[in-house]
Amino acid sequence: MGITSLPSTITTFPMPSEVMKQNREVVIAEEIGHGRVLTLNRPNNLNYVSEKVALTLGQKLEKYEKDDNAKFVILKGAGRTFSAGGDLERIYDARDSVLEGVYRIYWLFYHIHTYKKPHIALVHGMSMGGGVGLMTPMKFSVITEKTVREYLGLTGAKLKGKEVVAAGLATHFVPSHKLFQLEKSLLTINNGEEDTIFRSVIDELSTNVQIDETSVLSKLSIIDDCFSRETVEEILDSLEAEASKKENDWIMPVLKKYKESISNWIENNIEIDTRRKDPNPI
């Protein structure tokens, strides 16, 4: 199967917090056997993907893709969050020169999608926006019951744990207490040419995903119907009509969030339009 024993000196998931604090690198890179482990290391900032993080990840991935000794790559996050996405505050502060940084981040997502070697995301904790952009293109994306990601951007509703797999945004669900064991098992693989090797290791520790009737995914037919309307007004009317039906009280929070999102969107567009007309107000 191409698996060897893991050296006892290797530190795997999760890395002690004191080690993270001492290491100021935004991405920690480790070479363990034929595996390469990249750890997002901004735990106090929810592992936001800044331009520097995107640049470092891109450089490391390119290096490993050309390295014959590197057979596969593991990506994970330090602390309790995988990644909360792009560093929006920094992007806003540098909005006049942000194009290059945004391009670099999106190029990174494309690079991951077209990567030639097996790669695995171990997603523990929150994953939003750019964090999803990192995990979803991975050949294998493993989440736990503590994984949370935003969905339906206009509503702000969330997918949790197994729902992420059921929605096709991750490949496997592994209980959080088994994630350490999974990483340790993956790092014993010495032949990364066959995807079946990785799949069999992950399958051994993963559990089947079943969505109950309380999950928002069981309401997809209603959601798809409401959001298929051509105008905002028609979407609102459709949501309100569904909310009035028996057993559809779950729609009310969605409707509230949707209205708030529309209001914020209008305010932001007014501000953008004002700045475009007068870029240097007194």
pTM of the predicted structure, to 2 decimals: 0.77
CA angle, residues 221, 224, 226, in degrees to nearest 5? 105
Determine the residue type at 226: C
Q: What is the C-alpha radius of gyration for the chain, rounded to an integer number of angstroms? A: 21
What does the block give as tokens for 123?
Answer: 């997603």
Q: What does DSSP assign to residue 43?
A: G
What does the block give as tokens for 134?
Answer: 């990192």
125-176 pLDDT tens trace? 989 888 999 999 999 999 999 887 665 555 566 788 888 998 888 999 999 9
| Sequence ranges of the chain with CATH classification 3.90.226.10 | 17-205
Weakly modelled stretches of the chain, pLDDT under 50: 1, 3-12, 15-21
pLDDT given for residue 265 in this prediction: 63
pLDDT given for residue 29 in this prediction: 97
To the nearest 10°, report the CA torsion of 100, 106, 111, 113.
-170
Fold of 17-205: 2-enoyl-CoA Hydratase; Chain A, domain 1 (3.90.226)
Task: Tell me the torsion sign for CA atoms 99, 105, 111, 114.
Answer: negative
CA distances from 31 to 108, 167, 168 (A): 21, 33, 30
pLDDT given for residue 157 in this prediction: 66
pLDDT given for residue 71 in this prediction: 94
